């Protein structure tokens, strides 16, 4: 997606250690028009997949997932990092190391919203090492749902995440790839 690529090139900052700062338009301050177009592009690329639900990780994945959800007309579930009192047991829980936070994070989803009959498209802001998306995949598997694809705004190819996820045999789409 050329518009997103141009913004990454113009406004993104390499902070070293594989961290790309794009918080001026993706994950702190969000450009809603850019996000809408990114969601539409992800929806176009996965229109054939028959997704019935989109799954993402809180917080930075919510905006692109919601934009894709609007475009596809399907509900969006975000895996929470902290269990609210409204989330009843049992809960699907997985962990993943967070590159930007420098620690292990938990991802939780309720069986109330992630079910065996769901066809799940995972959408996130980044594909880097693949650990966060792999944890989301494990949540899908725990629910007995079917994974139909993975879509991200930005893939940091040099971190090898696509290789980590290759065994899943589902389409992986990135709107921008950094080699």
**Is the full-model pTM beyond 0.85?**
yes
pLDDT at position 4 is 98
Scored b (16 or more CB within 10 A) or e, 116-130 reads eebbbbbbbbbbbbb
pLDDT at position 137 is 99
Tell me which fold the domain 31-178 belongs to: Rossmann fold (3.40.50)
Q: In the chain, which residues have pLDDT < 70?
A: none
pLDDT at position 161 is 97
Task: Please state whether beta strands 76-79 and 53-57 pair in parallel, antiparallel, or not at all (unpaired).
Answer: parallel
pLDDT at position 118 is 99
DSSP 8-state secondary structure symbol assigned to residue 71: H
pLDDT at position 103 is 86
pLDDT at position 32 is 98
pLDDT at position 24 is 95
The domain locations on the chain are 31-178
């Amino acid at each position: 997606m050329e518009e997103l690529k141009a913004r990454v090139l113009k406004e993104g900052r390499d902070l070293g250690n594989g961290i790309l700062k794009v918080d001026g338009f993706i994950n702190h301050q969000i450009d809603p028009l850019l996000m809408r177009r990114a969601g539409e592009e992800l929806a176009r690329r996965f229109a054939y997949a028959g997704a019935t639900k989109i799954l993402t990780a809180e917080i930075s994945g919510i905006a692109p997932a919601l934009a894709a959800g609007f475009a596809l007309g399907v509900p969006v579930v975000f895996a929470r990092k902290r269990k609210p009192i409204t989330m009843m047991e049992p809960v699907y829980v997985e962990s993943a190391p967070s590159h930007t936070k420098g620690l292990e994070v938990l991802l939780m989803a309720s069986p109330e919203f992630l079910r065996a009959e769901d066809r799940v498209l995972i959408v996130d802001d980044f594909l880097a090492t693949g650990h966060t998306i792999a944890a989301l995949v494990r949540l899908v598997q725990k629910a007995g749902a079917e994974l139909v694809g993975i879509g991200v705004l930005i893939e940091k190819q040099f971190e090898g995440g696509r290789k980590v996820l290759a065994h899943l045999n589902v389409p992986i789409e990135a709107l921008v790839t950094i080699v």
